[in-house]
Amino acid sequence: MNVLVTGSHGFIGHYLCKYLESRKKEVIPFDIVNGQDFTDKEQVDEVFRDFDIDVVCHLGAQAHLGVAEQHPLLDARINILGSMNVFNAALRNNARVIYHSTGAVYGDGHEQPINELSPLEPKSHYGTSKLCAEEYLLLYVRRGLRGLRTRFSSVYGIGRDVAPVNVFTKKGVLGEPITVFGPEVTRDYTHVSDVVRGVALMVDSDGPGWDGSCYNIASGRPTKTMDVVWAVEKLLGVELDVTVRPAKKGDILQNYFNINEMRKTFGYNPQVELEQGIKELVRHYKEVKENAE
């Protein structure tokens, strides 16, 4: 099976490529790091001409909230127009598409846990552009494309230092002060290995059902921000220097996912508990610290 992975050098894309290769898939990486740009229609068409692609995992995106707010047209060009190039090429070449969206499309104020039928009320340019790309996927599905959608929660793991779990763990290991914005803010922290296992289950599913359906991929467990800090303190055996501030303006306050559809349809079962994931990060950052000294 030939699998095209856009955003292959990104945090999730890197892990996904390695995991798919371990499962004997032929992975075709596609990333701006290699000079490949899916907003360029000719480049997208070329990779489909060069390879007999069975499945596309479309992870490539402009994924920074701050960049999206400052440069909304850039965000739209990448996340919407670029995705249209991928969907159109896949339709013409009879390839299946898994479009990887985000929990940011849900917005805030919903009954928890959030399921795939919860209202879609994004609060950011980023969430809006990702939702728009979802709608385009559904349009192409109505024209014959076989496609699925995923929505990830807060993904963490080695290699993503901007994730809150990573930030708090790294600062704890280095003995640096930590600022917590919104101690009662709730997130669904999902280890990257669980995310890629979930995606791989979809890649292997070549039966009916590629009708644009959407699936949450998450841990299915709510965790308050301060609970992450306390878990880091417990594992390090030290009291951290913590400053608590109100949640930032525009932050989603309560956000964790119902993953029943993913369980029922693909047999998905998250395996990495948060404490286990933090232990892994503690070991990693300690090694980084020792190598730097």
Average pLDDT of 259-278?
A: 97
pTM of the full predicted structure?
0.95
Average pLDDT of 83-98?
A: 98
Any domain includes 29: yes
Any domain includes 293: no
CATH code, 66: 3.40.50.720
Any domain includes 7: yes
The SS3 assignment for 122 reads: coil
What is the crossing angle of helices 11-22 and 192-203, to 10°? 50
Residue 250 has pLDDT above 70, yes or no: no
Any domain includes 249: no
The pLDDT value given to residue 207: 81
Any domain includes 124: yes
Q: How confident is the model at residue 108 (pLDDT cuts 50, 70, 90)?
A: confident
Task: Look up residue 221 and give its two tokens.
Answer: 């467990």
Task: Look up residue 26 and give its two tokens.
Answer: 């032929």
Residue 65 has pLDDT above 90, yes or no: no
Are the beta carbons of 236 and 53 closer than 8 angstroms? no
CA 37, distance to chain mean position in Å, is: 19
What is the residue type of 276? Q
Residue 218 has pLDDT above 90, yes or no: yes
Average pLDDT of 21-26?
A: 97
Per DSSP, what are the bridge partners of residue 11? none
Any domain includes 230: no
Any domain includes 289: no
Any domain includes 165: no
Task: Report the domain count for the chain.
Answer: 1
Per DSSP, what are the bridge partners of residue 150? 100, 215
Question: Which secondary-structure segment (H or E) carries 224?
Answer: strand 223-224
Instruction: Give the structural domain span for 51.
Output: 2-155+190-219+258-271
**CA distance linking residue 285 with residue 198, whole number of Å:** 27
